[in-house]
């Protein structure tokens, strides 16, 4: 903790007057709404030289950088050229151990991130989401839920994603007849169905 704090102090002393500190509270009200884990979930005006403070205030969460196509996997695991940030699990011990992760902004690109404990339910966010791009925060959240949520399993990786695809609905209709009640049973089901389920999903991914 001490080292994080001194890093913070060093950064703020070093920064030009125009540099901003942007706070993202991690742990919002996740009891009723997991997609509220990052508040705000979208940061629009970070500029080079600013710092993002992920302020872990409740629960046990991570702030982990990922990519648009693979929302719930650390960025480095899907693209080795990205040296993404990852806080690891930060347990706040019921709010008595609040910690920060400090992320300096070094370029103008979009930075996607997630919480490993709620990603599958939409616990994701984005920094400098490009307004003219089809890669929106809503699309990123849908990818997270689709790939890691209730019905995904072994073959989820590999399907990329631009937020607004229509094939999603056809896949959904073929696999979600039991929607709602098999949540958490994805692994069990994939063992039962095995390749039978994986092959159509791989084909679906290739068609996208």
Ligand X SMILES: *[C@@H]1O[C@H](CO)[C@@H](O)[C@H](O)[C@H]1NC(C)=O
59: DSSP letter: S
Of the candidates 15, 19, 49, 98, which one interacts with ligand X according to CB under 6 A?
Answer: 98
How far apart are the C-alpha atoms of 114 and 122, rounded to whole Å? 8
* Token pair 């509270």: residue: 25
* Token pair 């920094």: residue: 127
User: Which residue stretch of 45-53, 165-173, 188-196, 200-208 sits at the interface with ligand X (rule: CB under 6 A)?
Assistant: 45-53
31: DSSP letter: T
**If binding is defined by CB under 6 A, does position 20 make contact with ligand X?**
yes
**If binding is defined by CB under 6 A, does position 60 make contact with ligand X?**
yes
Judged by beta carbon, residue 23 or residue 172, the one nearer ligand X is 23
Question: Across the beta sheet with 21-26, what order do the strands follow?
Answer: 38-39, 21-26, 51-56, 99-104
Is residue 193 helix, strand or coil? Answer: helix
User: Which residue stretch of 9-17, 41-49, 162-170, 198-206 sits at the interface with ligand X (rule: CB under 6 A)?
Assistant: 41-49
Please count the other Cβ atoms lying within 10 Å of the Cβ belonging to residue 18. Answer: 8
Residues in contact with ligand X, total (CB under 6 A)?
42
Judged by beta carbon, residue 33 or residue 170, the one nearer ligand X is 33
**If binding is defined by CB under 6 A, does position 89 make contact with ligand X?**
yes
- Crossing angle of the two packed helices 167-175 and 195-207, in degrees rounded to 10: 170
Please count the other Cβ atoms lying within 10 Å of the Cβ belonging to residue 120. Answer: 23
User: Which residue stretch of 9-17, 91-99, 162-170, 194-202 sits at the interface with ligand X (rule: CB under 6 A)?
Assistant: 91-99
The footprint of ligand X (CB under 6 A) covers: 20, 23, 29, 31-33, 35-36, 41, 44-45, 48, 53, 55, 57, 60, 72-73, 79, 81-82, 89, 91, 93-94, 98, 100, 107-109, 116-117, 119-120, 130, 132-133, 147-148, 156-157, 181
């Amino acid at each position: 903790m001490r080292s994080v704090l001194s890093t913070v102090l060093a950064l703020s002393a070093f920064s030009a007057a125009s540099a901003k500190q942007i706070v993202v509270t991690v742990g919002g009200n996740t009891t009723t709404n997991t997609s509220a884990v990052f508040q705000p979930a979208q940061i629009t005006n970070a500029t080079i030289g600013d710092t993002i403070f992920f302020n872990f205030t409740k629960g046990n969460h991570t702030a982990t950088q990922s990519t648009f196509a693979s929302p719930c996997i650390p960025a480095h695991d899907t693209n080795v050229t990205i040296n993404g940030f990852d806080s690891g699990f930060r347990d706040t011990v019921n709010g008595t151990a609040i910690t920060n992760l400090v992320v300096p902004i070094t370029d103008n690109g979009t930075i996607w991130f997630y919480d490993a404990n709620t990603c599958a339910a939409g616990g994701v966010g984005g920094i400098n989401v490009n307004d003219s791009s089809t890669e929106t925060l809503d699309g990123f959240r849908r990818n997270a839920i689709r790939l890691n949520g209730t019905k995904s399993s072994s073959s989820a990786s590999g399907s990329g994603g631009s937020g607004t695809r229509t094939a999603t609905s056809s896949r959904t209709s073929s696999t979600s007849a039991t929607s709602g009640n098999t949540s958490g049973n994805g692994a069990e089901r994939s063992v039962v169905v095995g390749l039978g389920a994986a092959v159509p999903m791989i084909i679906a991914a290739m068609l996208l």
